[in-house]
Amino acid sequence: MFLSRWDTRTLIPVLLIRTWSRLCHVPGPWFAGLSKFWLLRKALGGRFHLDTAEACEKYGPIVRVGPNELVTNDPVVLKRMSAVRSPYRRSAWYDGARLEPEYDSVFSETNEERHNMLRSKAAMGYSGKDNEYLEQSIDDNIGSLVRLLDSKYISTTTEFKPVDMAQKFQLLTLDIISDIAFGEAFGNLKADEDLSSYIKTMDNMFPLIILLGTWPALAKVFFSKVLRPFLPKETDTIGMGKLMGIGKKVVAERFGPNKKVKQDMIGSLIAHGLTQREVQSETLLQIVAGSDTSATAMRATLLYIVSNPHVQQKLLEEISKSSISTPITDAEARKLPYLQAVIKEGMRIFPPVTGFMSKTVPPDGDTIKGLYIPGGTTIGWSPFGLMRNEKLWGPDAKVFRPERWFEGTPEEIQSKEIDVEMCFGYGKYQCLGKNIANIELNKVYVELLRNFEFTVVDPVTPWKCFNAGLFLQSDLWMRVTKRVPSL
């Protein structure tokens, strides 16, 4: 039976009121409770990381940003949702984060039992403990970057050779993670180009991932058999499909009667019981998640270092006065207090992962900050809201100031360290690649700064930066000169 014109006119307002009233007690933009338009517009606008942070500043630690969506900048809430025994579960947002149409990785898997299984089997491989060449791989590729800059991009008083450090850091992290994951670097730094067109592919892909995450129903359509012919394929010669093909080939060599056996990440995944198909999915995830996040951290932190002369000077003094190897070892870097403060402050002021990554409130609902939240509601996080929250970091929370890591009692400093670690997630959803990222960051700034002086070409517009869950960054143009041998 069809609705009459009068029934339709009556029904629409009733549905809107019902939609709005479900979470009307939670503060937020009033129109966000009527449709997903606010959330979608912000997600596609390129500054979602700042929009959600500003919403939390204006409305409080729990903000309504959609008919059934909330966002928080409160570490207590985030820990509550991600604790090992938390009844919260991953929401449908993760359906859009699938890198392959038919397969989930440990990041996109929403089935809690399967996620826990994948995570437990992959943990040792991601930690690097089963890879005896992990640190050497990182050293070799950072060394390749140093040699590239030295041979091709040194400026002098008579010659100006600007270099886009945004691209160079991406090439570096792609080579590092491919070396770790596949046993051989892609060779981007040697060729001084993106051999697989990965950067261009990600520029197109990440906004789509955010769209699918914001509107999960679209993910089912996108990954359906109807659109399957238009999605990346293992036979592609560029982009995500090429990476899928490389991963399939390399992983296949580790199985079968004539299999290769190596003590690397793939070897660890196999040794801990992952199937050939599961290993293939995890290696693809390593390339995407491991390269983009580390590259963002490197770009942002180097930019903050060279833009703050007193920070750079203190860091250089610590490097010059310390007895460290060339290249610096991870163990040595961990003993340099100011370097560690700079790394933590860089991660705090510019957290590299900003995807909504919402969790679903358990069926019986939950009471948070005095607000009852009905079951089925999704709660995402605002990493910039968390890391620039004045209640946590003080009135200068938006200032890059490594000295804050030496201030306060030991208990207060420890609390801050726990909070900044949330850049990598928390509990059962914490990033498995945290150890690899920390080793990269412990080394890269020391090796670059002991060899070169960096000057931002255009301080007014230092880079192009678009947020799509991960950051799409380019045109970080710098003038590079040789540093005097005192370091």
- Summarised one tens digit per residue, pLDDT across range 318-376 is 999 999 999 999 999 999 999 999 999 999 999 999 989 999 999 999 999 999 999 99
Task: Please tell me the least confidently modeled range out of 73-77, 227-231, 268-272.
Answer: 227-231
Q: For residues 172-208, b (16+ Cβ closer than 10 Å) or e, as one string?
A: bbbbbbbbbbbbebbbbbeeeebbbebbebbeebbbe
- Average of per-residue pLDDT values in the chain: 90
Q: Please give the structure tokens belonging to residue 401.
A: 């100031």
Task: Give the dihedral sign, CA 248/253/256/262.
Answer: negative
pLDDT of residue 223: 64
Considering the chain, what percentage of its residues have pLDDT values greater than 90? 66
Contact 318, 338 (CB under 8 A): yes
Report d(CA 286, CA 251) in Å as an integer: 13
Q: CA–CA distance from 332 to each of 296, 307, 325, 336, 450 (Å)?
A: 24, 26, 8, 7, 15
Q: Residue 225's pLDDT band (boundaries 50, 70, 90)?
A: low
- In this prediction, residues 81-108 reach a mean pLDDT of 89
Q: Residue 19's pLDDT band (boundaries 50, 70, 90)?
A: low
pLDDT of residue 293: 94
Is residue 465 annotated as involved in ligand binding?
Answer: no
- Whether pLDDT at 228 is above 80: no
pLDDT of residue 3: 47
Contact 148, 452 (CB under 8 A): no
- In this prediction, residues 387-414 reach a mean pLDDT of 97
Q: Residue 173's pLDDT band (boundaries 50, 70, 90)?
A: very high
pLDDT of residue 378: 97
pTM of the predicted protein model: 0.92
pLDDT of residue 285: 87
Contact 68, 183 (CB under 8 A): no
Q: CA–CA distance from 131 to each of 68, 91, 435 (Å)?
A: 44, 33, 12
- Summarised one tens digit per residue, pLDDT across range 440-465 is 999 999 999 999 999 999 999 999 99
Task: Give the dihedral sign, CA 127/131/133/137.
Answer: negative
Residue scoring higher pLDDT (167 or 200)? 167
pLDDT of residue 1: 45
Residue scoring higher pLDDT (397 or 237)? 397
Residue 481, C-beta contacts closer than 8 angstroms, at least 6 positions apart: 154, 155, 156, 452, 453, 455
Specify the residue for token string 């609902």. Answer: 365
Report d(CA 303, CA 308) in Å as an integer: 9
Residue 411, C-beta contacts closer than 8 angstroms, at least 6 positions apart: none
- Among 11-15, 201-205, 353-357, 474-478, top mean pLDDT goes to 474-478
Q: Residue 303's pLDDT band (boundaries 50, 70, 90)?
A: very high
- Whether pLDDT at 238 is above 80: no
Report d(CA 472, CA 61) in Å as an integer: 27
Domains defined for the chain, CATH in brackets: 5-482 (1.10.630.10)
pLDDT of residue 487: 46
Q: How many CB atoms lie within 10 A of CB 159?
A: 7
Report d(CA 436, CA 343) in Å as an integer: 14
Question: Is the bond leading into 101 cis (omega within 30 degrees of zero)?
Answer: no
Q: Please give the structure tokens belonging to residue 349.
A: 């002021």
